[in-house]
A and B are shown apart, each in its own frame.
Chain A
Amino acid sequence: KNEVEQSPQNLTAQEGEFITINCSYSVGISALHWLQQHPGGGIVSLFMLSSGKKKHGRLIATINIQEKHSSLHITASHPRDSAVYICAFYGGATNKLIFGTGTLLAVQP
Chain B
Amino acid sequence: NAGVTQTPKFQVLKTGQSMTLQCAQDMNHEYMSWYRQDPGMGLRLIHYSVGAGITDQGEVPNGYNVSRSTTEDFPLRLLSAAPSQTSVYFCASSSRDLYNEQFFGPGTRLTVL
Give me the interface of A with B, judged by CB distance under 8 Å. 4, 30-31, 33, 35, 41-45, 48, 86, 88, 90, 95-102
Contact = CB atoms under 8 A, between A and B. Distances in A.
Nearest to B92: A43
Contacts of B51: none
Q: Which of B35, B41, B43, B101 has the most chain A CB atoms inside 10 A of its CB?
A: B43
B104 interface: yes
Contact of B98 (A35, A95, A100): A95
A35 B102 CA distance: 9
A73 B22 CA distance: 36
Given A45-B101, A96-B48, 18 more contacts: A35-B102, A35-B104, A41-B106, A42-B107, A43-B107, A45-B103, A45-B104, A90-B99, A96-B59, A96-B98, A97-B45, A99-B35, A99-B42, A99-B43, A99-B44, A100-B42, A101-B40, A101-B41
A4 B101 contact: no
Contacts of A98: 42
A2 B109 CA distance: 26
A42 B109 CA distance: 12
Interface in B18-61: 33, 35, 40-45, 48, 58-59
Contacts of B44: 99
Interface in B66-102: 88, 90, 92, 98-102
Contact of B42 (A44, A90, A96, A102): A102
21 contacts: A35-B102, A35-B104, A41-B106, A42-B104, A42-B107, A43-B92, A43-B107, A45-B101, A45-B104, A48-B101, A88-B42, A88-B43, A90-B98, A95-B98, A96-B58, A97-B33, A97-B43, A97-B102, A99-B44, A101-B41, A101-B42
A86 B41 CA distance: 11
A35 B35 CA distance: 14
A102 B42 CA distance: 7
